[in-house]
Structure 1
Amino acid sequence: MSYSRFAIYYVPPEGPLATFGATWLGWDVLRGLEVPQFDLPGLDDITMTPRKYGFHGTLKPPFRLQTGHTVDDLASAASKMAAALAPATCDGLKLTPLGRFLALTPQGDMSQLQRVAETCVQELDAFRAPASEAELARRRKAGLNARQDALLTQWGYPYVFEEFKFHLTLTGRLPADILPVWVDNVQSCLPDLPTPFVVDQIALCGEREDGRFELLHRYTLAG
């Protein structure tokens, strides 16, 4: 299998939360296969955008591999980084409207989670091929502020470091009038959410030829 891009995600371990995420989106990133969704009218449509990525929280956003590096090189570096990186703990997870889409977001002190994400962005950046002019232009259409544009230029993505907000995406952009309905629908399907929420592992994921991401390796945070 060849992969066009790679990313470092938090992917929940096997269990109720991972099962919920796969069944909600219709894509199991752990196993790299489609699964039946919850029986909710319209669910297929509102999850079309996040489905390809699987249920995850981004730590280092998707990137193309820099010339001269291999997937094995990236995997080895991610493993070494994880071995030296301490886990992160927050109070828990909560269903949150982020603008017009829905996500699970961490609650409480985010500093440990911020540290994990910043380490992933920085320490693996040598493996990231520079963003193309087309990619930069597409990102800038979102109307970035000066700091976001500087981050985009340096790191290939505008929402890192102080602009980073960890979340596990559940929907695409929703019309305002149906947002409350989908809040209720998510709540009806959610398992008990973890308290505390602990990120003690990271996942190297790859984008397949069909555009969908799947898990390649997991690494325990052991620092």
Structure 2
Amino acid sequence: MQDFTRYAVYYAPQPGIFADRTAAWLGWDLARGCAVDDRSLPARPVDQPRKYGFHGTIRAPFHPVVPEARLIATLDAMAARLPTVECGTLALRDLDGFLALMPTDGQAALIALADAVVRATDPLRAPLTPDQIARRRPDSLTPRQRELLDRWGYPFVMEEFRFHLTLTDRLSPAERPAVQAAAQAWLDPVLPQPFIIADLCLVAEDAQGRFHLRHRAPLSG
């Protein structure tokens, strides 16, 4: 049995071609918990996002103070009260030097969803240690982001939340055109139309730092 260290709440694609293509792009299948090697893809810088799997963060990773069963029960109860979120479609964007897919619409609904998840799961996490706070580089945060870090364990929540699905490491200007062209050719034919978040995914980090899907909770409110 896996020894999981942290848990998070993600959006992750439901089974299908979009899930298969994005798992192949990153080289890690979050749902199956295994590496994926598609030799038809060119070399691409995905070392950092690979271990997390293709996802959009709803609640950033945290150390729980309750068993996994309690996390699942909380997620199920919360998802039963929350509606699905429709976000137009997805577009490839340069996000501070990283390539990411971002929704073209629905930001207010996404913030509301993430807000509810953060509030409901906050009692289930351990407080941050001084070392964990230091790894967030608090001196680089705005005063509001530092306040959010102290209160919720992560600086990019509430109004600072920006939903995105990371595809690459940080790219140099020389790397970006070829990697972007490859990503568009690989993903454009399978992008969901519309993009809908229909469930919340509980994921867990193993001892090697790789994330695994543990449970899907359908949004049915």
TM-score w.r.t. the length of structure 1 is 0.95
Matches within 5 A, 1:82-161: 82-140=79-137, 143-161=140-158
1:50-61 to 2 correspondence within 5 Å? 50-61=49-60
SS in 2 for 1:102: strand
Partner of 1:47: 46
Give the Cα–Cα distance (whole angstroms) in 2 for the partners of residues 103 and 142 of structure 1.
Answer: 26
Deviations 1:71-110 (A, max 9, x none): 1111111110011111111111111110110011001231
Aligned to 2:166: 169
Worse overlay, 133-142 or 50-59: 133-142
Equivalences for 1:16-31 in 2 at 5 Å? 16-31=17-32
Q: Provide, for residues 16-73 of structure 1, a one-character-per-residue CA deviation record: whole Å limited to 9, x for no partner.
A: 2111111001100000001113534432xx100001100000000000012xx21111
Query: How far apart are the structure 2 equivalents of 1:150 and 1:118?
Result: 15
**Which letter does structure 2 place at the counterpart of 1:15?**
G
Identity of aligned residues (%): 42
2:61 paired residue number: 62
Q: CA RMSD in A?
A: 1.2
- For the residue of structure 2 that corresponds to 1:97, the secondary structure is strand
The number of residue pairs the alignment matches comes to 219
C-alpha distance in 1 between matches for 2:139 and 2:98: 16
Q: What residue ranges of structure 1 are gaps of 5+ in the alignment? A: none
Tell me the secondary structure at the aligned position of residue 203 of structure 2. Answer: strand
In 2, the alpha carbon distance for the partners of 1:97 and 1:160 equals 21
What secondary structure, in the 3-state scheme, does the structure 2 residue paired with 1:30 have?
coil
Q: Is residue 208 from structure 1 mapped to residue 209 from structure 2 by the alignment?
A: no
SS in structure 1 at match of 2:209:
coil
